[in-house]
Structure 1
Amino acid sequence: MIKTMKALVRREFWENRGSFVKTPIIVGIVLLILTLGAYITTLVLSKKTGSDEILKDGVLELASIESGKLGIFWDMQVLSSSTLYFMILFFIIFFYLLGSLFDDRKDQSILFWKSLPVSDALTVSSKLLTALLFAPLVFMGIYVIVFFAEMVLFSIILMIHGLNPIKLVWIPMNYFATFKLLFLGIVAKMLWGLPVYGWLMFSSAVSKRRPFLFAVLIPLLVSAIWYWINVLTFKFTDWSMFKEPLRYLSHGLFPYASTDWKGEKFRFEIEDGSTINAITDGMINSMLGTKIVYGAIFFVVFFTLSIWIRRYRNTI
């Protein structure tokens, strides 16, 4: 069974390697080009104006930051760039799962896979495992490489201007906290996104024509009907039907967006000097709530339905 699952996951990954591998590489190249382009633009403007004020306000300002705050500066660099990667990853997983079961019926490849001694449950599980675990690990692994490349680029720029990159870049960086942040980000994204992923797979399995429209319009229609019923009972400000789905969606999209369950907004409290540690504590607290359990139950129901529908539906 384990060997079969490995083969199925390998197939899924190979068929979607463009999305899972090429996309984060392209995004990383674009980020590096933008960083280099911003530096070159600063040099050109400084040369044309005959003043180095622009350069001082840009690259050289890093040297004026207090040593205790340099770690916070690099924390924010990690948070901003990894948030972009997590956001792009969410949309890639979104469309991957949306077509995971529909495309097999559309191109009739489902008939070939059903002829093999592999159960529908194992096939559907391999698609889910690819989306939940392997795609995020590869995506964020590439992100780590890209971020280290950006640190090297920063180091080269600083050395050009006679600054010490070891002191300004490599020592202040909190490596353990960064890896912990990315790992917990993957876990939080997986747990909060479970109901979304379950619904997407169900939409892919049940839809005959347009799985995207089914996945989006049905929840909107149900929410609209629910709100209309509330209006009839004079509950004009009851937005609960929208609030909970948006909570799972937003936390799956931005795993760093954490809220405690006492109703208070999460705050950045940098008691130990690390913004990243504050964020990771917030993510852990958010994952310990009962909302995760409710989302998991919703996921199990629709994931089971997806397997059952695939078993009896071979064409669109």
Structure 2
Amino acid sequence: MLAVVGGVVQAVLVVGGAPLLVGAMRQVRAKLEGRQGAGVLQPWRDLRKLLRKEPVTPRGTSEMFRIAPLFLVATTLVVAVVTPFVTTASAIASVGDLFAVVALLAMGTATLALAGLDTGTAFGGMGASREMTIIALVEPTLLAAIFALSVPVGSTNLAAIVSSMLHEPARVISPVSLLAAVALIVVIIAETGRLPVDNPSTHLELTMVHEAMVLEYAGRDLALVEWASAMRLSVLLGLLANLFVPWGIATTLTPVALLVGVLALVVKVGLLGSVLAAGEVFLAKLRLFRVPELLAGSFLLALLAVGASFFLA
């Protein structure tokens, strides 16, 4: 029962709170840059405006272009339900496995890349090619970083990893956790298209990655893509927070425990998002040919974490 209630609460929290997280991050950047900003609720206003508009389908596209936004939202929503964010129990234990969660995230990214190719435009193909180059290094790093945390537990189930970290707080400052945390931070930056890997607020032809794949979307389809992107950011930041700082997560089915779990998740994800937004103010976008070097470095850190998990166990 704890797993079912937790899954429902997590889904509602991610779906409703993801645009607010993006708005808060934009507001942090605006304040640090000396601007007033549009407000935390601006992403919700943009989504409401887009949802009222009719989608436009380019001539010659297949069903892949039309189902990609729905598939992206669906895979992200499943990850939000099965990952232990508010409670230590997973709503669907078999899907709450490390490999299943990473596969779902990769499927969403690959589907969007196929939709970009389906348009037949130069920008769509360019963005899809760049996205596949990034994901080829991001997904193995994500697998290796979390796998390093699973070695002492003896299970790749995310709920088991979070529960183990909760009962053994000394592991938070171990070399394995520190190496895995740094690798995972780089992965999140690349996976969500943030600086210095990608700039989510640009439309310059030579620098676009994610934006190049979604240029042909409009109306409700574009709203779903933007909503799913915000949800993926929230999910990955929540995963980072609970893997390394799981305190506050609910272990019992009581209203107080659930409320504390929700508040803890909101505070941790909000702080991580604010730090990420503040860091972007002082970073410049890397050249495209430098991005694989950064991601290869994070993969090396993840491999070191895996090696250390066996030697230090």
Report the TM-score range of the alignment, normalised by the length of the smaller protein: 0.3 to 0.5
TM-score (norm 1): 0.35
Between Structure 1 and Structure 2, the one with more helix by share is: 1
TM-score (norm 2): 0.35
